[in-house]
Amino acid sequence: QVQLEESGGGSVQAGGSLRLSCAAAGLPYTSHCMGWFRQAPGKDREGVAGIGSAGSIRYADSVKGRFTISKDNTKNILFLQMNNLKPEDTAMYYCAADGGYCSGAYALTMTDPKYWGQGTQVTVSS
């Protein structure tokens, strides 16, 4: 059974930092496309950061220079380090995974990945 479990969300003031983790278990692929997505109330879900199967990375313009995606391949954990958080970063954050070979750009824009986590809430106050 595949499980993606996010953790690390919380409430911070603007300018603060959070580190999200996504522990992936049971993925049936040797190569994965993985990404972080977010959805704020009343808004569409958007890609935040994607990491391709060979490690290429792509970020949404809104988070470039502030967020860093990384992956521990030995433990199958996906991370999102978020610095200089802004109130507009407030959202539910989800990790997602799909199999196969892909670029970071593809991982960032996956519209229908096979696996999703339950999400972790990030709230940034001004």
Query: Where are the extended beta strands (E) located within the chain?
Result: 3-7, 10-13, 18-25, 32-39, 46-51, 57-59, 67-72, 77-82, 91-99, 115-116, 120-125
Tell me the per-residue pLDDT of 50-74, one tens digit each, with 9 for 90 and over: 999 999 999 999 999 999 999 998 8
Measured on CA atoms in the order 102, 45, 121, 48, is the torsion positive or negative?
positive
* Confidence at residue 57, expressed as pLDDT on a 0 to 100 scale: 97
Give pLDDT, residue 32: 83
- Return d(Cα 117, Cα 22) in angstroms, integer: 8
117 confidence band (pLDDT: 50, 70, 90): very high
Strand 57-59 to 67-72 pairing: unpaired
Average the pLDDT over 92-112 and give the result.
Answer: 93
pLDDT for 74-86, tens place per residue?
Answer: 888 999 999 999 9
Count of CB atoms situated within 10 Å of the CB of 111: 6
